């Protein structure tokens, strides 16, 4: 489901009340009773923990099991979201509903994460990361499992594959995306990339497995099996989602003063635009492959190529952000690759080879957005209020999550649907590519505001 989902080290916004969620900030100084200087945008200093608190030790080896746990959760959670195109294809072939309606079912599950972020943050404050993720795994598996009983009813699919799955997704995202980054400073981009890389690998594995399961035992049984697998992976992994000792606790209230910053507002608009097209390729590729006369098994294989490339892009862009060109440059490169591949390759991909080539390039670029967002946010605004800043930035993501893929579906339907051939896909493709390049232009503005030198590592 459209998800992606993304998303990374992010604690959602609330009102002015404080939520004690640990952040990966600067080490505490024994002589200082307040948080580190550099309170950006007029923010008030926050009290430090008691003097007997442990000092933070960054990049500990104990953090890697936490990273693997987050990656395992994203393997299932975002893997199912990015594989929803397979379910959508089979439901469309059964004539359950048109493509826009089926796209909305997938969008509901993804859109609930930003929509319910405040509630999730309060649950984390009350019960902790591990228990929150455990309950999220229960709901997500329940939604997928009960969808196996709902494939003949659109309202039932909205309840199961949409709302129940979405409740689970909203409870899983924050713990899985936030806790791993709390263990790392120098390798934060790489750690976040590995977490999100699990989504790409999971999407590839699940999309291929789902198609084989559907062929052998039917769509209904396949959904039930995937729901059971979700429980088997997520519930044990949730145990490891624990923050390191010595973390400071910081307020995560909505920072309204951020909205007075030009750079913040440009990034807010950038994120809002970028989330509209990000789920269009994984949702439409199986339908596109079917329209050029190939089987659903080939469509699943092409989607798997896109997802594997996305996993490589998440890790590669994270490494590039840490060691090579910097996080903002990596984000710019990521969005340019997505937009150019959509506009220059996809409309003319009439053979399997060209479709695979597009899927690989587009997947590599798409993988970078969510895994780079927390790193870019820290680079632009500083680590002092990373959670609050990410929360505020995420306010623009809901509309793209909820409407991005359905808009593409409406455009496809308006120009004749899947029966009209490849030309019917082009308006949706141009819509996705154009919005991606527009968001790339906005991150370029932020990059030039930070450092106008062309070759600077930013």
- Report the CATH number that the domain containing residue 150 is assigned in CATH: 1.20.1250.20
Q: What is the pLDDT of residue 99?
A: 83
Domain containing 341: what range? Answer: 21-25+61-450
| First-residue to last-residue Cα distance in the chain | 33
Distance of CA 105 to the CA centre of its chain: 17
Q: What is the pLDDT of residue 433?
A: 95
CA distance 11 to 391: 6
Structural domain includes residue 42: no
Query: How many structural domains is the chain composed of?
Result: 1
Structural domain includes residue 38: no
Measure Cα distances from 263 to 268, 348, 380, 449, 456 in Å: 9, 37, 8, 8, 18
| Residue 166: CA count within 13 A, CB half-sphere | 27
Structure tokens at 167: 């409740």
Kindly state the greatest CA–CA separation across the chain.
71
Q: What is the pLDDT of residues 62-116, one digit of tens each?
A: 788 999 999 999 999 988 988 888 898 899 889 898 888 888 898 888 888 877 7
Q: What is the pLDDT of residue 343?
A: 96
Q: What is the value of pTM for the model shown?
A: 0.73
Structural domain includes residue 349: yes
Complete DSSP assignment for 15-78: SSS---EE---PPPPTT-SB--S--GGGPPP-B---TTSPPP--S-TTHHHHHHHHHHHHHHHH
Structural domain includes residue 47: no
Q: What is the pLDDT of residue 165?
A: 96
Q: What is the pLDDT of residue 323?
A: 79
Q: What is the pLDDT of residue 50?
A: 40
Structural domain includes residue 48: no
CA distance 137 to 201: 19
Structural domain includes residue 398: yes
Structure tokens at 298: 């080939």
Structural domain includes residue 273: yes
Segments of the chain with pLDDT less than 70: 1-60, 118, 246-255, 383-388, 391
Structural domain includes residue 78: yes
């Amino acid at each position: 489901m459209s998800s992606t989902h993304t998303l990374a080290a992010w604690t959602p916004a609330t009102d002015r009340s404080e939520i004690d969620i640990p952040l990966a900030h600067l080490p505490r100084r024994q002589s200082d009773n307040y948080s580190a200087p550099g309170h950006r945008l007029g923010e008030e200093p926050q009290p430090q923990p008691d003097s007997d608190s442990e000092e933070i030790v960054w990049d500990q080896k104990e953090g890697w099991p936490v990273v693997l746990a987050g990656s395992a959760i994203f393997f299932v959670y975002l893997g199912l979201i990015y594989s929803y195109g397979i379910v959508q294809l089979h439901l469309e072939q059964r004539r359950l509903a048109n493509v826009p309606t089926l796209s909305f079912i997938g969008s509901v599950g993804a859109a609930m994460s930003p929509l319910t972020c405040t509630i999730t943050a309060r649950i984390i404050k009350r019960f902790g990361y591990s228990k929150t993720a455990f309950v999220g795994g229960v709901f997500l598996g329940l939604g997928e499992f009960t969808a196996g009983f709902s494939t003949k009813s659109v309202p039932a699919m909205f309840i199961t594959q949409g709302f129940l799955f979405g409740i689970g997704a909203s409870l899983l995202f924050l713990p899985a995306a936030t806790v791993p980054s709390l263990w790392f400073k120098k390798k934060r981009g790489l750690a976040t990339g590995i977490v999100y890389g699990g989504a790409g690998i999971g999407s590839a594995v699940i999309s291929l497995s789902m198609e084989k399961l559907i062929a052998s035992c039917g769509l209904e049984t396949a959904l039930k099996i995937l729901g059971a697998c979700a429980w088997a992976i997520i519930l044990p992994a949730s145990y490891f989602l624990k923050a390191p000792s010595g973390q400071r606790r910081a307020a995560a209230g909505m920072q309204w003063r951020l909205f007075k910053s030009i750079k913040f507002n440009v990034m807010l608009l950038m994120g809002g635009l970028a989330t509209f097209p990000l789920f269009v390729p994984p949702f439409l590729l199986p339908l596109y492959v079917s329209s050029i006369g190939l089987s659903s098994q080939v469509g699943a294989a092409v989607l798997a190529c896109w997802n594997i490339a996305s996993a490589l892009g998440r890790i590669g862009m994270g490494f590039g952000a840490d060691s090579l060109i910097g996080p903002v440059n990596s984000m710019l490169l990521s969005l340019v690759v997505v937009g150019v591949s959509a506009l220059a390759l996809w409309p003319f991909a009439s053979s399997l080879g060209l479709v695979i080539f597009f899927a690989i390039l587009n997947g590599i670029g798409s993988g970078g957005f969510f895994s780079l967002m927390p790193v870019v946010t820290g680079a632009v605004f500083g680590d002092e209020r990373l959670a609050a800043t990410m929360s505020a930035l995420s306010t623009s993501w809901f509309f793209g999550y909820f409407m991005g893929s359905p808009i593409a579906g409406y455009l496809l339907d308006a120009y004749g649907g899947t029966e009209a051939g490849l030309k019917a896909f082009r308006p949706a493709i141009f819509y996705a590519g154009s919005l991606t390049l527009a968001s790339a232009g906005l991150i370029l503005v932020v990059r030039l505001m930070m450092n106008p030198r062309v070759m600077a590592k930013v």
